[in-house]
Every structure is written in structure tokens, then in C-alpha cells.
Amino acid sequence: MITAREADGSVETREAEPYSYRIKGNSEKFFCYDIRKGGIRNFTISNIVSVEETNNKFTPRWPVEV
């Protein structure tokens, strides 16, 4: 579960499959698959409020780099 600040200032919590951590320019990004929205999302690390591990297992859709 990832809780993060959105661009509009709101805070959302999502259940997500972790895939990649990258540095893009001056920004650190975390890429994941948002289960509810059914798509890839990326978060700027500084906008992440909290991360909570679940007991849910998943079969990776792509190679996991984290």
C-alpha cells in the first residue's frame, strides 16, 4: 500500500505491485502497477507519505527491478 501526495495536493492510498526505482534527471521515481486503476503509476519519492507491506502475493507482469 502506497500513500502519496498527488499533484493537486490531495493524498491517495493505492495497492500496488512494485517494479522499479529510477533516477530521472533530478527526480527519484518509484514505478508500480496500480491494481485498482489497472495501470502503471510513478511516484516522486519525496511525495510518498508511507508504504505498508501487505500479505498479498503477485505474479510479476514484467521484470522486477526493486
Report residue 29's pLDDT band, with 50, 70 and 90 as the boundaries: very high
> Which pLDDT band, with edges at 50, 70 and 90, does 38 fall under?
very high
pLDDT band at 66 (very low <50, low <70, confident <90, very high): confident
Q: Has residue 58 been placed in a domain?
A: no
- How many domains are contained in the chain? 1
In this structure, is residue 20 part of a structural domain? yes
Mean pLDDT along residues 45-54: 97
C-alpha cell at 12: 491517495
The domain of 17 spans: 2-51
The reply to whether 34 falls in a domain is yes
For 38: left if phi > 0, alpha if psi spans -120 to 50, otherwise beta; the answer is left
Distance CA 46, CA 62 (A): 25
